[in-house]
Structure 1
Amino acid sequence: MNDKSELLQQLKIDRNQAPVAAGIKFWQLILVVVLCVSVSIWLTLKFALVPASQTPQISNSKTQVVTSAGTTQVNSSAPSPKVNKSLDNNSILNSSGYITARRMATVSSEVMGLITEVNVEEGMEVEQGQILARLDDAIAKVNYDYSVAQIAVLQARRKSIVANLDEAKSNYQRVLNNSYSSDADRTRTFAAQQSLLANLESAEADLLLAKIEVRRQQERLDDHTIRAPFGGVVTQKNAQPGEIVAPSSAGGGFTRTGICTIVDMSSLEIEVDVNESFIGRVYPGQKVEATLDAYPDWTIPASVIATIPTADRAKATVQVRIKIELNDARILPDMGVKVGFLKD
């Protein structure tokens, strides 16, 4: 029994005993912070700051390469890319623009019709007057043949009137010269002669009108054959056989307003926008060096054609036309180009 009492006494908590301090002391926290800062400074000084003498240097001098056989080969460093510095050294003004064509046309027909034949493809060179396409001309041919037949009818009518007129003239002379014809006979034959003369003039006028109609129908028939207005290169083919072409849009998914687009490559020039603050440095005939974005190492000689006498209010620029002094197949419409206006 006493043993049990002693055990219970041991399990009791003494409320009067002083509590044991727990946690990290303030001075310990300060010590940890100082140690962390010291380690950081040491690492920075050792690894982050590399002496200038240990930094790798890139040299343009020759380098030695050891091959697998143990021999040493001397290879020169790769040459630096060529940079066209003429635009910076000799120019007084630099600008950029695009290659444009002064002669460019989307060829269409003057009449609406069904396309039966297209004879061009993109990149094809054509000459002036070359047949590009044909339209269905069946009705136009019928109208032309009809107008030609009308001329034949009117020519036969004129021959008949001429024959009757010759007879009327003979009758009038016979009546006028004999002594037994009355005044009524003379008047009647004279009136018949004058009537035939009027019919002959009418027939000749109708014949002239018929010839004009033949030319009109011939023009309408020729309109069904589409020809190149000038020589150049086909850049776009816009229609195929079986589609309908019209001078203006007539609606529908198979109606085209043009057969193809032709560009005269000899009419290419450069158009650039120059800031209006520097337009005074540009004048007609001024020498220009142009560089295509596609061929940055190729300098193209050029000269100023004219300054367009109007300014763009939104961009505060003035457009300048520049003539290309050479013809080259590498120069294409809508290419980007940089130009430098040279000093005198």
Structure 2
Amino acid sequence: MPTSPSSPTRFKKRLPLGWIVLGSISLVGLIAWMLSEGAALSVSTNTPTLFKKGTQTPLVTASGYIVARTRATLSSKVLGRVAYLGVQEGSLVSKGQVLAKLESPDIEASRNAIFSQVHQAQQDYDRSATLQKSGFESPANTERLLSQLNTLKAQLAYQDALLESMTLKAPFTGIVTQKLSEVGETVAPGSAGGANAINAILVMADFDTLEVEVEVSESGVGKLTPGMATEVRVDALEKKKDSSILKGHLRAIYPSSNRQKATIIVRVALDQKDPLLVPDMGAKVTFLGAPYQEDVLVLGREQVYRDPQTSESFTWVVEDGRATKKSILVLNAENPLGYEISGLIPSSQLIIAPPDNLKPGQKVTPKRL
């Protein structure tokens, strides 16, 4: 088949264009590779937690809330309308102080009527007793009058008790934390105790008995003993440098378990208190054991990795501006705050949550949290 004389000419014109395109793609790839190699990856870092020699060993940590050991929800004994309320939230009250009164005009009127009857019955009995001594009155009539007098006195005592029940007094010295009723509202005896009392008037607590209630796992309770030292961290005090950690001790381990959660309630008494503490604040408790015999470094469990080939433990650190897999030795995995390790120095820059594509020797820019 004859070849067109123009075909070699077209081939010669297309060949340089193909090489140019191929060369351009290679050059772009080379530039991208050089840029990726030269760019530093930004990573978040922190340092290991250092426990100095003599610091007590943390055994168990648990979260809970500030509670008052002495706390009461106050309601009336009888149905009535609130006529007087002498306190507000935050009021400091003393034991026996009158907090509220219910309207009681009908009871007062009934009491006054019975009081008059008692007064008259007393006079009748005294007159009859005098006449009996003179022989002008029969003993039977005197005994009848005495019986009437005693009956009226009992009715008067009952009316006094009703009037007393219309007055609400503080059962102990403390602070009013909630006011649940206002003047003019009708209240009734609470049909449920504690914070669930229906138609309650006030809630008060003794702030001198504030403590922490936490739920400890059943596996961790075996490490606890009554009286052991604790550290309490309250969320509301985190910004206070001098009192962010409060000292306390284990007061009681409740003799019951939550079947669903597999936890046991533990109460921690506060040896140190802060004016900012109020019931229901969140808190975290660390139960402390024996002191460390030497300085110890602790890493978070998420910062310790295991090499699948050698089964050795390592962590990612920043050295000379590059990511490095640093071999470490786990000394104790039972510390609730993390792993006690060796192989690092306190100033080591640990990489937090390293990306999956991070490679040893890769350039990184540390960003301290």
Matched, 1:227 2:227: no
Using a 3 Å threshold, how does the CA distance of structure 1 residues 205 and 90 change in structure 2: closer, same or farther? same
Correspondence 1:239-318 to 2 at 5 A: 239-248=181-190, 257-296=199-238, 297=241, 298-318=244-264
Larger strand percent: 2
For residues 46-83 of structure 1, give each alpha carbon's deviation from its aligned partner in whole angstroms, at most 9, with x where no partner exists: 3222177xx9999xxxxxxxxxxxxxxxxxxxxx99x9
Unaligned runs of 5+ in 1: 1-17, 59-79, 170-192, 250-255
4+ aligned runs moved over 4 Å, structure 1: 26-33, 55-58, 83-86
For residues 145-173 of structure 1, give each alpha carbon's deviation from its aligned partner in whole angstroms, at most 9, with x where no partner exists: 1121121121122133224423436xxxx
Q: Computing the radius of gyration over CA atoms, which structure comes out larger, 1 or 2? A: 1
Q: Partner residue of 2:74?
A: 107
Identity of aligned residues (%): 31
Quick one: distance in 1 between partners of 2:147 and 2:24? 119
Using a 3 Å threshold, how does the CA distance of structure 1 residues 45 and 226 change in structure 2: closer, same or farther? same
Q: Partner residue of 1:40?
A: 28
Give secondary structure in 1 for the equivalent of 2:260.
Answer: coil
Q: Partner residue of 1:342?
A: 288
Larger helix percent: 1
Q: Partner residue of 1:237?
A: 179
Q: Partner residue of 1:91?
A: 58
Q: Partner residue of 1:121?
A: 88
Q: CA deviation at 1:247?
A: 1.0
Unaligned runs of 5+ in 2: 8-13, 192-197, 291-369
Indicate which of 153, 162, 168 corresponds to 2:135.
168
Q: Partner residue of 2:149?
A: 207
Using a 3 Å threshold, how does the CA distance of structure 1 residues 36 and 126 change in structure 2: closer, same or farther? farther
Give secondary structure in 2 for the equivalent of 1:90.
Answer: strand
Query: TM-score scaled by structure 1?
Result: 0.69
Asked whether the equivalents of residues 129 and 142 of structure 2 are also in contact (C-alpha less than 8 Å), the reply is yes
Query: TM-score scaled by structure 2?
Result: 0.64
Quick one: distance in 2 between partners of 1:42 and 1:264? 74
Using a 3 Å threshold, how does the CA distance of structure 1 residues 28 and 202 change in structure 2: closer, same or farther? farther
Q: CA deviation at 1:301?
A: 1.3
Using a 3 Å threshold, how does the CA distance of structure 1 residues 41 and 201 change in structure 2: closer, same or farther? same
Q: CA deviation at 1:30?
A: 7.2
- Count residues with an aligned counterpart: 268
Q: Which amino acid aligns with 2:252?
A: A
Quick one: distance in 2 between partners of 1:106 and 1:125? 16
For residues 150-202 of structure 1, give each alpha carbon's deviation from its aligned partner in whole angstroms, at most 9, with x where no partner exists: 21121122133224423436xxxxxxxxxxxxxxxxxxxxxxx6xx2122222
